[in-house]
Structure 1
């Protein structure tokens, strides 16, 4: 029995329709280590994206700098050899310098505000920067991760900027951090994180600032006696993707991915808040004195002096900071 040409075409079309779509695999890189909130976020988001897109998009995660350091990761996403990545917003400053504003101190009221201000769907400030990232670097921010607040540790009691006046204080070797430490009233002393315990032990610096997770994981309680709960920075990371890759996804899959990342952002906030309570107890058990506003910590004084210094050193940030602070 022979089929006519029209029948053959119809059968072939039906066969092609029945074939499963070829999954698009995205390589997702980051520098976070095992056990970090950002590592949990990437792993869970990858699994949920595959489920939400019915297997049409799969994500292979490469943690712990497996595909290179921050600069290599950002370059890879720009070129498309790495499709996705995440890190501090400031890591994208090589494309658009003003993106660093989202790492600025004292611009967020709390973690929830930080997530609202960095929402690619609704934050005017982030949308403005995103347009520039797409145009200048072919990179789009599509999500964010909350890692917790940064606090001050020292080997003496700190309640106000006057307590740090003229003292050598560790600054992350970036201009924004140097400006912040000047606002603390201290003398900025750039120290790489790998050298920090030794610098604190020898007195090269008498204090530093970091999330509590870093203080515990690096055993800084062994060389520091106090933690001032300033919460001066809300540590938020940007999740970004190559723009050509993003445009190559269907609108349905773009929406599915965005919904997964938004939900994970809210979960990361809860993870960080839950872990901070446990970490405070852990540091107190290790012998550290934890100083809060109830103990006389003058967070308003730190906020006023630090923001004044940032405005002096980075006047171009002022309109963006105003937009960020106005977000509900």
Structure 2
């Protein structure tokens, strides 16, 4: 898993990936167990939680204009007193309320380490206890929040809280030297408010579809509960699967109540998303970093988005 993550990070550097609202690069000197560094770390992490969540990679230097910074080179963290546990402990003790959803991974690189910090969007505003300021990542900058921004983030608790995922199973095809990847979405309401009038769109790269031998056409689920269309993303053309509360009303699944888990699979009505990777399409998929994206919309919930990178869903 760490090898795959390191390869993903190496591609970010090689491709000079730009920073974004959900991706930030920090040189290794930014992470030290002392001085002002812990307060800057809390500023960045709390700012990410108070925005849309995202990933901060410590160990990559960046360059370019202020609002258009790109990954430029590796600059590992050299302080031996810095560890994944130390980062988690500082965040837990120096944010109020403590940020609950934090994943920290440590990867060796040269004589130092790279730390990948994944921050989930908070369901309330988190304050830095170093200076008692609320921060928020806006674009590629972290700024102090104004009163109305703090109130807006705190109101997230007034809406539903959802966990959305793509479940995967694998089928091997030894004769074809191929592997099948089968997905279906799940939506879990982990909050206290019922979700209604919702729509989930899953974008899947066309390069990974099962193909008919005769006409080379894409095989799609031709049922009435899942609609399909086409869309273009940064990684190429995708087929779009759309699930909605209206379409599922015939199954009495239009409302998602607190604690309920909705599994969007089941026979012809809700077919799995079936992909196949072989020697014929692997290199093209890898070169295009073919990710799977999803977008969730509801009348009483904030829009949610997520993705599985190619390395996350494909282990061919």
Give me the TM-score of the superposition, normalised by structure 1.
0.23
Higher relative contact order (CA 8 A, sep 6+): 1
Give me the TM-score of the superposition, normalised by structure 2.
0.24
